[in-house]
């Protein structure tokens, strides 16, 4: 039932594009640190190549993924089919944070629609691809995307968003540096 691949083939890439959400998981090196798992949605994920993916990192109430990637780079992305045939895909890899000052920021931004809540992009070099059955994943009907984050970020404007990020995204819940450049 479970299969492992060296890379993302065209068929899996097409299936990934059909999914409405995905999950991101990271962990700090410390055994006492908190593991983080986050659901993601919107038009925010791209397969850039057989071993290269990226997602649009929006402003949020925390910055665990960013902090963990800055510390150790380990990340896993998981997709589940909530509609159609059951399937799960996991993309293990090494991630880096591509913030506005990064040399590749404009290159990655060109792959995504503009969003007022953009905080950074997460770029992942995929080192392992695995699929499994997903037989126990329930079926859900997709009703639509939420626009609350986009509306909130628009009303905040750049200055208030920068202040919010400086307060809420400077460190992880374990005190690891996340977005220290936020002022």
Dihedral of the CA atoms 66, 29, 49, 130 (nearest 10)?
-130
Range of the domain at 15: 3-168
Kindly report, residue by residue over 37-70, the tens digit of the pLDDT.
999 999 999 999 999 999 999 999 999 999 999 9
Beta strands in 42-167 (DSSP E): 45-49, 52-58, 74-80, 88-98, 118-132
Number of structural domains the chain divides into = 1
- Say what the pLDDT of residue 183 is: 43
> Does residue 181 lie in a domain region?
no
Model confidence, pTM? 0.95
Kindly report, residue by residue over 98-150, the tens digit of the pLDDT.
999 999 999 999 999 999 999 999 999 999 999 999 999 999 999 999 999 99
> Does residue 176 lie in a domain region?
no
> Does residue 123 lie in a domain region?
yes
> Does residue 135 lie in a domain region?
yes
CATH assignment of the domain containing 102: 2.30.110.10
Mean pLDDT of 148-177: 95
- State the Cα–Cα distance between residues 183 and 168, nearest whole angstrom: 11
- State the Cα–Cα distance between residues 1 and 138, nearest whole angstrom: 18
> Does residue 183 lie in a domain region?
no
> Does residue 86 lie in a domain region?
yes
> Does residue 182 lie in a domain region?
no
> Does residue 174 lie in a domain region?
no
Judged by DSSP in three states, 13 sits in helix
């Amino acid at each position: 039932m479970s299969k492992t691949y060296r890379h993302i083939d065209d068929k899996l890439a097409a299936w990934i594009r059909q999914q409405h959400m995905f999950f991101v998981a990271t962990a700090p090196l410390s055994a006492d640190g908190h593991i983080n798992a986050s659901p993601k949605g919107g038009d925010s994920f791209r397969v850039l190549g057989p071993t290269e993916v990226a997602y649009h990192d929006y402003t949020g109430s925390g910055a665990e993924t960013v902090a963990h990637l800055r510390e150790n780079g380990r990340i896993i992305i998981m997709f589940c089919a909530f509609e159609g045939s059951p399937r799960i895909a996991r993309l293990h890899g090494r991630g880096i944070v591509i913030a506005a000052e990064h040399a590749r920021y404009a290159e990655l931004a060109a792959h995504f629609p503009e969003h007022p809540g953009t905080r950074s992009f997460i770029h992942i070099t995929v080192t392992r691809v695995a699929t499994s059955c997903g037989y126990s994943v329930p079926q859900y009907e997709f009703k639509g995307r939420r626009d609350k984050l986009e509306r909130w970020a628009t009303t905040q404007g750049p200055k208030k968003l920068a202040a919010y990020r400086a307060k809420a995204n400077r460190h992880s819940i374990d005190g690891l540096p996340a977005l220290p450049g936020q002022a």
